[in-house]
A and B are shown apart, each in its own frame.
Chain A
């Protein structure tokens, strides 16, 4: 998942005393793991408004965190910290899908009696309608679902219905037929993009007027750029909570989220109790201070399954030459980036991060600036002018500045372009933007499967005119074939080993210069029970897990 703001993402460790919350059902009013107060309104702050407040469109941690307890897909993730939170469990579906026809058919049944927050019954046929809406909106998530029969054609013509999904409202049966087996499809059914919405939901961005909820909370007010508010979904207590006992109903009665773009102010406000939680980590300049002062009581480090990297445009000179890309990898020093990220990043030079199946440590490009300069000199590229793209948020801006100077050091003429963090992926993901030569980016897992890092970011088929996440437009036929073949298989030890080899094989071609894996944090005011807060590897902090002491 692309992370746009200062960031949060996703975890793996944690494991604090919050299991009670994760396991409590709809009827359990405690919701969390502590002995805190029931009710109250949580005052929270984000550093930026999510990219979209529409589950079909959002592709940022901010968006998914904001909507995790509002929109429930057919499958979802266990409300738990760390690895336990990577377990896919039934959401609106009664049970996990039955996979047949050689991995090409997925059969699920909708739980009976479910209702949206406006009182409308949830129907099985809402699911295909929601998938169609998502594709019609050109969602960045649509590539995950193009293996559904007829989806490619539907994406081109925008004319339905989508033949690959059959739904029976009477029995609640939903049958999904794929063109070819897809080992990641179960995890993809748990993504926010395919949350179930009413069939009459307008095919437009609903960020300012969010759709009815199926989760324990509904969004009652949304002002893009400023903030939004939650209240309890009245139909959770009446219907959905009972039908989905594995999902908690939450402790607080609602929440008010305010966008405060100054991260320093956010820290001050949380310290003073103006806000009870800040979604993004404290700024790097305050990180050590906050950690030292509050760790254990109000602050917790959350490792993420993420990779931070510099991309290079492999389609055009100078980075169409593998020698030049390899030289850049030798010139980037992960130790410098560790300092720039103020100790919130562990240096690494590979694609798959620790915690992701298939991760196996290797070091192909030890730091050697002299060697890098020599390699560039030998390659003698025809174009030495490079534009470097990064966003304006600290420390990403400094990482971009660092990369800019590295490229200068090895002989290139560079221009640094800093773009507002809200727009960076829109701009660098639009192939018509001029001078897309190189830049900073990062990726957090969408689901615990290595294909999530390889297919959307490095497969040739993922290159799109807009909403493109293969920023370097890397397109190697042999690599494409291997990614596609592995994606068809269900993940096991053999596949994990194959992914580890593929990671190294891709890095030999050096499409990126990866530089590390990020940690983030939970920082709450002294009124919140830190132990109860759940940080899920995919969705980040669950609103339903917050409780006042």
Chain B
């Protein structure tokens, strides 16, 4: 039986009221919205203010600053520093490297890339994780055993090292599996790597909840009325997982962005000349002594975005699922007991 609509509406409006009462979360939601607006405005800034694209090089060019000509990159290879508005918005934050690209434009476009990867990887990981958790938690038996052990194997791997190796392999050779073909510089390479390795972090706790829900009366009632496994999983159990999924999804965006920044910093994520905040830190680190802002700015953007998402994610969890901890404990306890209460297909192996 589906959750009663009026009760569901009540639950969501109650959650909204709880969330709105959390001033800190609202402030950071505002900050996150500003960051999103900042990166979405990249083409406007690039076309109407800076007059350059994110990958356009100005190595040997000069700009006029307060009526005086200045090299974008000196003969010794030093990029110009922040000009703020002295050059009509050109090189507002200076040049990014010896290639003389506009740092502000790259910061905005890089943010789009980082957010896109974070969002896509979290979405892909969440979809995969929910499907696997539903299959494992509902069918149990060998299906659960296979999925749970596979997740355990991924969980037990040194995620970052394996992700790094896989990222480098994809960055050099691309990917071709049947009709699926990704070029070496494709943004999908880091997305796939990140999502593969974050699936267990979402799937395992959700699987525990599925195990617990599958014992509830409304599920048994649906089965008794002749509902098939797909309907039970997606119409009966899935709506009840919504709050948990939303919370995990939010937190996973932040984690995926950090993962992407790490991979890109080490050359296994976004490939040059495209920028992400991670690749910009790599470029900036080399020039840390002469232009420290080049590393500090993208680092700060990552920190603010991740902090915002984590605080908003925590607030969502508190708002959507105030008893979540108790319920999670119950699910884990259920799992620890072997999921035998009313089990249809034997013990859960997780």
Contacts and interface: CB of A to CB of B under 8 A. Distances in A.
A394 B267 CA distance: 13
Interface residues of B, number: 29
A342 B98 contact: yes
Contacts of A343: 75-77
B286 A418 contact: no
Looking at chain A's contact residues, the main secondary structure is helix
Interface string A306-345: 0000000000000000000000000001011011111100
B120 interface: no
A367 to B, nearest CB: 9
A419 B272 CA distance: 12
Nearest to B78: A288
A57 to B, nearest CB: 24
A340 B59 CA distance: 8
A418 B172 CA distance: 7
B60 interface: yes
Given A333-B60, A405-B55, A405-B56, A285 B76 contact: no
Nearest to B73: A339
A416 B272 contact: yes
A415 B56 contact: no
B273 interface: yes
Interface string B81-108: 0000000000000000111100000000
B57 A288 contact: no
Interface in A389-424: 392, 394-395, 397-398, 401-402, 404-405, 415-419
Contact of B98 (A264, A395, A418, A419): A395
B271 A288 contact: no
B184 interface: yes
A287 B286 CA distance: 12
A264 B289 CA distance: 10
Given A284-B98, A418-B267, A419-B172, A336 B59 contact: yes
Nearest to A289: B289
Nearest to A337: B59
A394 B75 CA distance: 17
B77 A340 contact: yes
B76 A288 contact: yes
A97 interface: no
A283 interface: yes
B74 interface: yes
B183 interface: yes
B341 interface: no
B143 interface: no
A284 B57 contact: no
Contacts of B55: 405
Given A401-B99, A416-B185, A417-B172, A285 B271 contact: no
Contacts of A394: 286
B62 to A, nearest CB: 12
- Name the residue in A264, A339, A394 with the highest tally of chain B Cβ atoms < 10 Å from its Cβ: A339
Nearest to A288: B76
B273 A340 contact: no
B287 interface: yes
Contacts of A398: 97-99
A416 B273 contact: yes
B49 to A, nearest CB: 21
A480 B183 CA distance: 37
Contacts of B290: 285, 289
Contacts of A342: 76-78, 98
B77 A336 contact: no
A397 B272 contact: yes
Nearest to B100: A339
B60 A335 contact: yes
A549 interface: no
B267 A392 contact: yes
A226 interface: no
Contacts of A283: 286
Interface in B98-155: 98-100
A377 interface: no
B11 to A, nearest CB: 50
Contacts of A335: 59-60
A336 B267 contact: no
A339 B98 CA distance: 7
Contacts of A284: 77, 98, 286
A300 B271 CA distance: 35
A286 interface: yes
Contact of B286 (A264, A336, A392, A404): A264
Given A285-B286, A415-B185, A339 B60 contact: yes
Interface in B153-199: 171-172, 183-185
Given A342-B77, A416-B271, A402 B289 contact: no
A418 B266 CA distance: 12
Given A343-B75, A418-B267, A336 B272 contact: no
Given A398-B97, A402-B99, A415 B183 contact: yes
A341 to B, nearest CB: 7
Contacts of A397: 272
Contacts of A338: 75
A334 to B, nearest CB: 10
B322 to A, nearest CB: 48
A167 to B, nearest CB: 46
B330 to A, nearest CB: 50
Nearest to A367: B60
A285 B287 contact: yes
A287 B76 CA distance: 9
Given A395-B98, A402-B59, 15 more contacts: A285-B287, A287-B77, A288-B76, A288-B77, A333-B59, A333-B60, A336-B59, A339-B59, A339-B77, A339-B98, A395-B77, A402-B57, A416-B271, A418-B271, A418-B272
7 contacts: A285-B289, A287-B77, A398-B98, A401-B273, A402-B59, A405-B56, A417-B185
Interface of A: 264, 283-289, 333, 335-336, 338-343, 392, 394-395, 397-398, 401-402, 404-405, 415-419
